[in-house]
Each structure stands twice: as structure tokens, then as C-alpha cells.
Amino acid sequence: MDLGLEGKTALVMAASKGLGKAAAMALSAEGCTVVLGARNAATLKQTAEDIRETTGNAVYYQPTDVGVKEQIEALAALAEEKAGGADILVTNAGGPPVRTFEESTDDEWQQWYNITFMSVVRAVQAVLPAMKRKKSGRIINITSSSVKAPIESLVYSNALRLAVVGLAKTLSRELGPYGITVHNVAPGYHLTEGLERIIVNKMKEGRSREEVLEMWSRSIPVGRIGRPEDLAYLIAFLAGSRASYLSGTTIQVDGGLYGGVM
Ligand SMILES: NC(=O)c1ccc[n+]([C@@H]2O[C@H](COP(=O)([O-])OP(=O)(O)OC[C@H]3O[C@@H](n4cnc5c(N)ncnc54)[C@H](OP(=O)(O)O)[C@@H]3O)[C@@H](O)[C@H]2O)c1
């Protein structure tokens, strides 16, 4: 199936590793010019080179902290200058730390509100002029399965990501008339450096890394932990022309882990 992504420009935030990198790789493989941001300049450069070498398509990048409005605006300006403005926005950020409610602090609530929620607000603000001009756009937020079922000891993720879901639904209604669709993708367990940090935390309960992975795998109907590309394929589909009648959805990619009906 041709997803209709050839020649499109995709801005992918927090894209140097893990799920963001996989999304950028998949979009580039489908013919997009990708514009990447993340904080560490050396890792970002290496990722840009990996993607360019693998797909042969144009890749631009600029160190960007998604917690800083001006840096998000500068990344969108790079997409404008080098590639005619974003057709596709994939929002992503580092995940909040492991905390129970009683371990949470006011400062951390503010910090993760800024990174988890305001980064999405600011990225949408930054790409909206290009998408409105083009009368077309795709906004896809990488959230977490925590938006469907809260995860133990991840209180910031469980609470703040639902604001992203509410925002996305609102945007899908307000921006639909401009040809812009908006989605959330909700990953379950995918093997990335981010997940490795959660594994290390679980190991404090006395299990080995292998035992943690096996325990999780047993709880997943398809019997395995996800690969970053499992999420990226959905993002590429939602970004393409075949998905033009889908908007306002929140789709989990979790091997069937989520037990609810809807
Ligand atoms: N992997 C999973 O199983 C899973 C499941 C559910 C939800 N998630 C969520 O999905 C998101 C991505 O997870 P991941 O597993 O791919 O994480 P990861 O492997 O740790 O990669 C995180 C990426 O985000 C970048 N990043 C972190 N903080 C940033 C910031 N403030 N500004 C810009 N870039 C930033 C990192 O680069 P720099 O450090 O250089 O900035 C890196 O490229 C997280 O929010 C995570 O909680 C992941």
C-alpha cells in the first residue's frame, strides 16, 4: 500500500532514540523529509546519519529541548526553511520518572507538566501556520498505555498524559476543517533505553532483567515485548493519505495488553 508520504515533511520531536527515532526512520523510509530534535547534539547527529544512510532521504536536525518554547519554534522554523514547513508533526518527549503520588513534589509536577503537556501545545502552535497554509496536516502524539490504564508508580505519566489526549480530541474538532487530523498513539512495553530504565527500577524488587522481561511478556497476549518499529508503523499509517478519514483517536500498540473493551 502506498501511504502517500513521498515528498512530505515530518517534524519529529525527541527523535534521537527509541520510539521517536523509530517513527522518524519509518516516515523517512516512506519518502518523507524528516526534521529531528532532541537535546544531545552528538546522538542526534548520529541518528540523522543512520536514517539518511538507511533510507537515502533528506534529514535535517537541530538540538532541541522540548521543554523550551523557543527551541521548538526554532525547529519548526528549520522545517520551514529547509523543507517547506511541516506536513506531519510527531510529538514526543522523555518519560516522567517513577513516582507514587506521595513521592511527587510541586516542582516536579510543574516540570513534567511543561515537558509532557506544554511541549505538545507549543509544537502544535509552531507548525499550525504551515499546516493551515497547506490545508492539510497530521499531528500524532506519542503518549503511553497509561492513558487507557494507569501504571503503578507513574503518577506524572498517568495524570499529565490525559491532558494531551483531551487536547488532541479538541484539536481534531477545531482543526479538521483545515484538513488536519490529530491522533494519540499509546505504546505499551517497547524495548528502548527508556524501558531499560524502568527495568532497572523493577530489578530493585529482586528480579533479574530477564525475569522482568519474562514477567511482562507473560502478561501480554501476543507474548512478547514490542519493538520500537511496532509503534512506528502505526504512526506512518496515520501520517499518510490513506488515514484521511481517521481523526481524534487514541490507539494503543501493546500486543493486546490493555484489558478494556474500548
Ligand atoms: N518504551 C516504552 O515502552 C514506552 C511505553 C509507554 C510510553 N513511552 C513513552 O514514550 C516516550 C519515548 O520513550 P522511549 O522509550 O523512546 O524513550 P528513550 O529511549 O529514553 O528515548 C527518549 C528520546 O527523547 C529525547 N528526549 C528526552 N527528553 C527530551 C527533551 N526534554 N527534549 C527533547 N528530547 C528529549 C532523548 O534524547 P535526549 O536525551 O538527547 O534529549 C531520546 O531521543 C516517553 O515519553 C516514554 O515515557 C515509552
Q: What is the pLDDT of residue 220?
A: 98
Q: What is the pLDDT of residue 260?
A: 95
Q: What number does the ligand 1 atom closest to the CA of 20 have?
A: 16
pLDDT digits (tens, 9 = 90+) for 242-262: 999 999 999 999 999 999 998
Q: What is the pLDDT of residue 176?
A: 98
14 Cα: distance to centroid of ligand 1 (angstroms): 6
Is 48 domain-assigned?
yes
**What is the domain-level CATH number for residue 118?**
3.40.50.720
Of 25, 35, 39, the residue with max ligand 1 atoms within 8 A of its CB, to mutate for a pocket test, comes to: 39
Q: Are residues 25 and 155 in the same domain?
A: yes
Is 108 domain-assigned?
yes
177 Cα: distance to centroid of ligand 1 (angstroms): 32
Is 36 domain-assigned?
yes
Q: Are residues 235 and 202 in the same domain?
A: no
Identify the burial level of 178 via C-beta atoms within 10 angstroms of its C-beta, where 0-12 means exposed, 13-18 middle and 19 or more buried.
Answer: middle
> How many domains does the structure of the chain reveal?
2
Is 220 domain-assigned?
yes
Q: What is the pLDDT of residue 262?
A: 87
Is 259 domain-assigned?
no
Q: Are residues 55 and 85 in the same domain?
A: yes
Q: Which helix (H) or strand (E) holds 187?
A: strand 180-187
Pocket of ligand 1 (CB under 6 A): 14, 16-20, 37-40, 43, 64-67, 92-95, 115, 142, 144-145, 187, 189-190, 192-195
pLDDT digits (tens, 9 = 90+) for 5-17: 999 999 999 999 9
For residue 103, is pLDDT > 90?
A: yes
Ligand 1 atom 45, closest CA: 95
Q: What number does the ligand 1 atom closest to the CA of 22 have?
A: 16
Query: What mean pLDDT comes out for the span 144-173?
Result: 97
Q: Are residues 162 and 221 in the same domain?
A: no
Q: Are residues 136 and 179 in the same domain?
A: yes
47 Cα: distance to centroid of ligand 1 (angstroms): 14
Name the 3-class secondary structure at 26: helix
The answer to whether the CB of 168 falls within 8 A of the CB of 234 is no
Round the average pLDDT of the chain to a whole number and report it: 98
Ligand 1 atom 1, closest CA: 190
Of 12, 36, 92, the residue with max ligand 1 atoms within 8 A of its CB, to mutate for a pocket test, comes to: 92
For 45, residues 6+ apart whose C-beta sits below 8 A from its C-beta are: 61
pLDDT digits (tens, 9 = 90+) for 182-231: 999 999 999 999 999 999 989 999 999 999 999 999 999 999 999 999 99
Q: Are residues 117 and 219 in the same domain?
A: no
Is 2 domain-assigned?
no
Q: What is the pLDDT of residue 184?
A: 98
Of 11, 13, 16, 40, the residue with max ligand 1 atoms within 8 A of its CB, to mutate for a pocket test, comes to: 16
Q: Are residues 196 and 181 in the same domain?
A: no
Euclidean distance between CA atoms 244 and 10, whole angstroms? 16
246 Cα: distance to centroid of ligand 1 (angstroms): 26
**Within 13 Å, how many C-alpha atoms sit on residue 158's CB side?**
12
Q: Are residues 62 and 31 in the same domain?
A: yes
Is 106 domain-assigned?
yes
Q: Are residues 54 and 111 in the same domain?
A: yes
This prediction has a pTM of 0.98
Domain holding 134, by residue range, is 9-188+227-253
